Chain A
Amino acid sequence: MSFSPVLYHMVRADFLERVRRYGFLVTLAGALWLAYGIAAEKIWIVVGDGYRGVYNSAWIGALMATCCSTFLSLAGFYIVKNCVQRDADTRVGQILAATPMRKDFYTLAKTLSNFAVLTCMVVILMLAALAMQATRAEAHTFALWKLWSPFFFIALPTMLLTGSLALLFETIPFLRGGVGNVIYFFLWTTMIALGATGVDDPTGLQLVYRSTRRALIATDLSTADHPSFSLTIGGEHAIRTFFWNGIDWTPQVLAGRLLWVAVAGVIALLASVFFHRFDPARSWKSKQKESSAAAPAPIETVPAAQAGVIAHLSPMIPTSSSFLFLGLIASELRLMLKGQRWWWYTIAAGMLVGQVASPNPNLGSGFLVAAWIWPILLWSQMGCRETRYSTSALLFSSERSLSRQLPTLWIAGVFVAMLMGAGLGLRFTFAADWHRLAAWLAGALFIPSLALALGAWTSSGKAFEAIYTLWWYIGPVHHTPGLDFMGTTPASCQPIAYALAAMILFAAAYWRRRQRLGYA
Chain B
Amino acid sequence: MQLTIDNVSKCYGGGNWALRNFSLQLVPGVLGLLGPNGAGKTTLMSILATITRATAGRVVWNGADLATDADALRSKLGYLPQDFGVYPNLNAVEFLQYLAAVKGLDAASAKRRIDELLNLVNLADVRKRPLGSYSGGMKQRIGIAQALLNDPQLLIVDEPTAGLDPEERVRFRNLLSELSGQRIIILSTHIVSDVEATATDIALISQGMLVTQASPEELLRRVQGKVWEWIVPSAELNAARQRYLISNTARRSDGVHARVLCDDPPDGAQPVTANLEDAYLHCLSQHRTVYTSRVEAGVLA
Chain A positions near chain B (C-beta within 8 angstroms): 284, 287-288, 291-294, 296-305, 307-317, 319, 321, 323-324, 327-328, 330-332, 334-335, 338-339, 385, 389-401, 404-405, 517-520
CB distance from B197 to the nearest CB of A (A): 11
C-alpha gap A334/B98 in the complex (Å): 9
B117 touches A313 (CB 8 A): yes
A residues near B202, Cβ cutoff 8 Å: none
B126 touches A316 (CB 8 A): no
- Interface residue stretch chosen among B31-39, B86-94, B278-286: B86-94
Scan residues 239-259 of chain B and give those whose CB is less than 8 A from a CB of chain A. Answer: none
B70 within 8 Å of A (CB atoms)? yes
A394 touches B71 (CB 8 A): no
C-alpha gap A303/B143 in the complex (Å): 16
**Which of B106, B119, B134 is in CB contact (< 8 Å) with A319?**
B106
CB distance from B282 to the nearest CB of A (A): 31
A299 touches B135 (CB 8 A): yes
C-alpha gap A305/B116 in the complex (Å): 14
Closest residue on chain A to residue B45 by CB atoms = A393
Contact (A284, B133) CB under 8 Å given A310-B174, A314-B116, A519-B50? yes
Contact (A303, B51) CB under 8 Å given A284-B133, A296-B133, A321-B106? no
Q: List 19 A-B contacts (CB under 8 A).
A: A292-B130, A301-B137, A304-B165, A304-B171, A314-B113, A316-B151, A324-B105, A331-B98, A335-B90, A335-B98, A393-B84, A394-B79, A394-B99, A398-B102, A400-B104, A517-B50, A517-B51, A518-B51, A518-B53
C-alpha gap A519/B81 in the complex (Å): 17
C-alpha gap A137/B240 in the complex (Å): 79
B232 within 8 Å of A (CB atoms)? no
B199 within 8 Å of A (CB atoms)? no
A residues near B143, Cβ cutoff 8 Å: 394
A399 touches B87 (CB 8 A): no
C-alpha gap A287/B146 in the complex (Å): 24
CB distance from A120 to the nearest CB of B (A): 24
A residues near B141, Cβ cutoff 8 Å: 304
A338 touches B151 (CB 8 A): no
CB distance from A279 to the nearest CB of B (A): 15
C-alpha gap A293/B130 in the complex (Å): 10
C-alpha gap A312/B113 in the complex (Å): 10
Contact (A397, B79) CB under 8 Å given A292-B132, A324-B104, A335-B90? yes
Closest residue on chain B to residue A284 by CB atoms = B132
| Chain B 137-155 interface 0/1 with A at a Cβ cutoff of 8 Å (1 = within) | 1100101001010110000
**Which of A301, A330, A389, A520 is in CB contact (< 8 Å) with B88?**
A389
CB distance from B43 to the nearest CB of A (A): 11
C-alpha gap A270/B154 in the complex (Å): 54
Chain B positions near chain A (C-beta within 8 angstroms): 46-47, 49-53, 66-67, 70-71, 74-75, 77, 79, 81, 83-90, 94, 97-99, 101-107, 109, 112-113, 116-117, 119-123, 125-126, 129-130, 132-135, 137-138, 141, 143, 146, 148, 150-151, 164-165, 167-168, 170-171, 174-175, 178
B129 touches A296 (CB 8 A): yes
A389 touches B86 (CB 8 A): yes
A310 touches B122 (CB 8 A): no
CB distance from B248 to the nearest CB of A (A): 25
C-alpha gap A158/B109 in the complex (Å): 59
A residues near B87, Cβ cutoff 8 Å: 335, 338, 385, 389, 391
C-alpha gap A392/B94 in the complex (Å): 17
A residues near B174, Cβ cutoff 8 Å: 307-308, 310
B84 touches A391 (CB 8 A): yes
A residues near B104, Cβ cutoff 8 Å: 324, 398-400, 404
**Which of B86, B106, B122, B146 is in CB contact (< 8 Å) with A324?**
B106
B81 touches A307 (CB 8 A): no
A residues near B123, Cβ cutoff 8 Å: 302
Q: A303-B165, A310-B120, A400-B71 are in contact. List 10 more A-B contacts (CB 8 A).
A: A287-B88, A321-B106, A324-B106, A331-B102, A394-B79, A394-B81, A398-B99, A399-B71, A399-B75, A518-B47
C-alpha gap A334/B91 in the complex (Å): 12
C-alpha gap A287/B134 in the complex (Å): 14
**Which of B74, B83, B112 is in CB contact (< 8 Å) with A314?**
B112
C-alpha gap A330/B87 in the complex (Å): 16
A305 touches B122 (CB 8 A): yes
C-alpha gap A519/B105 in the complex (Å): 21
C-alpha gap A471/B171 in the complex (Å): 54
B132 touches A338 (CB 8 A): no
C-alpha gap A313/B74 in the complex (Å): 20
A residues near B86, Cβ cutoff 8 Å: 389, 391
Query: Which 6 pairs from chain A and chain B are nearest by CB?
Result: A390-B85, A519-B70, A339-B89, A316-B151, A393-B81, A399-B74
Contact (A327, B119) CB under 8 Å given A287-B132, A389-B86, A389-B87? no
**Which of A302, A310, A316, A332 is in CB contact (< 8 Å) with B178?**
A310
B81 touches A316 (CB 8 A): no
B116 touches A312 (CB 8 A): yes
B residues near A324, Cβ cutoff 8 Å: 101, 104-106
Closest residue on chain B to residue A321 by CB atoms = B106
C-alpha gap A385/B175 in the complex (Å): 31
**Which of A332, A338, A401 is in CB contact (< 8 Å) with B90?**
A338
C-alpha gap A488/B77 in the complex (Å): 49
* Of listed A284, A287, A302, A308, residue having the most chain B CB within 10 A: A302
Closest residue on chain B to residue A311 by CB atoms = B120
B residues near A330, Cβ cutoff 8 Å: 101
